[in-house]
Amino acid sequence: MSLRNVITIVTSTRPHSGRTLIARLLADFYMQDARKVAAFDLNGGDTALSDYLPAIAAPADISGIYGQMALFDRLAANDGTQKVIDLGLAAMKPFFAVMQDIDLAGEMRRIGTATIILFVATPDDAAAEAVAALRRDNPAAALIPVHNAYLGESQYRGRFAAPGPGAAPVHIPVLAPGLRRLIETKPFSFNDPPNNAIVGAGIEPGNELQRWLRRVYVEFREMELRVLLGELQGSLGGPSP
């Protein structure tokens, strides 16, 4: 298993949960690490991810069989590219149905590619039910809850606890409202601040954004290490972390 071979699906059952922001951050995290990245925008008419990162992200349509074949052939390609999928609510059911039918996560594991489902935790019952179904139907995938502090602190997060003593959710810290408005400028890459609105905001806001970004990237780095450890232990017949 290599950290340079990962398919990551970012999804949620609730709009405005920070799903697209997390997909953007993850894609930029990979690019900062000098990895090849391909991102896919499955948001119906809302092409937010591809608007923010047009150089690496493109809309995908899986409403028909040809669109499904094109996307999943691309995901399954063993080409050394990190794949990031921003999966909106309308596309969740057909996407995961195909993923289960072809056993994408199992097939990827056999060629040394990890499959990660980042599920943004929200208080609705549909979210808890979706997480339970995804864990049941995709046993070869690492399903990891994401706790977005922007949504507030709540007891519901215990419903999304990742299984295993070594597992842990990903935490996305709150970003100041002024900076949130700045990063919503399109296009926007966190790796290229000289070309966006942060320049005009002054030194201190730029420093604050970089501190926040470092915290997020540490979360992603630790997530990858936990996934790698889990895959290694699984290949050796040991308990999952």
pLDDT per residue over 59-92, tens digit each? 999 999 999 999 999 999 999 999 999 999 999 9
Into how many domains does the chain fold?
A: 1
Which of the listed ranges 43-47, 146-150, 217-221 does the model predict with the highest average pLDDT?
A: 217-221
Tokens matching residue 176: 């100041």
Whether the per-residue pLDDT at 28 is higher than 90: the answer is: yes
Closest to 74 in 3D by CA, of 7, 28, 142 = 7
pLDDT for 146: 93
Residue 116 has pLDDT above 90, yes or no: yes
pTM, entire model: 0.89
Residue 231 has pLDDT above 80, yes or no: no
Confidence of residue 233 (pLDDT cuts 50, 70, 90): low
Note whether residue 11 is domain-resident: yes
**Considering the domain boundaries, does residue 30 fall inside one?**
yes
**Residue 205 in this model has a pLDDT that exceeds 80:** no
Give the pLDDT score at 171: 93
What does the alpha-carbon distance between residue 164 and residue 25 come to, in Å, rounded to a whole number?
Answer: 26
The CATH number that applies at residue 221 is: 3.40.50.300
State the chain's mean pLDDT as an integer. Answer: 85
Residue 1 lies in a domain: no
Classify residue 241: in a domain, yes or no.
Answer: no
Q: What is the CA radius of gyration of the chain?
A: 17
Stronger pLDDT, 193 or 37, i.e. the higher one:
37
Question: What is the pLDDT averaged over residues 201-213?
Answer: 75
Give CA–CA dist 28/191, Å, rounded: 6
Q: Could you tell me the pLDDT band of residue 112, with boundaries at 50, 70 and 90? A: confident
Q: What pLDDT was estimated at residue 1?
A: 44
Containing structural domain, residue 14? 6-235
**Please, which contacts does 150-156 make with residues 24 or more away whose CB atoms are closer than 8 Å?**
150/18, 150/174, 150/175, 151/17, 151/18, 151/122, 154/123, 156/121, 156/122, 156/123
Phi then psi for residue 166, to 5 deg, are -100, 0
pLDDT tens profile 135-171? 999 999 999 999 999 887 665 566 776 665 456 889 9
Strand blocks (E) in the chain: 6-11, 37-42, 57-59, 82-87, 114-120, 142-148, 170-172
**Structural domain contains residue 228:** yes
pLDDT band at 178 (very low <50, low <70, confident <90, very high): confident
Token reading at 60: 């995908």
Residue bearing the bigger pLDDT, 15 or 206: 15
**What percentage of the chain reaches a pLDDT higher than 90?**
58
Whether 137 contacts 100, CB under 8 Å: yes
Q: Is the pLDDT of residue 241 over 50?
A: no
- Give the best-scoring range by mean pLDDT among 49-63, 186-200, 226-240: 49-63
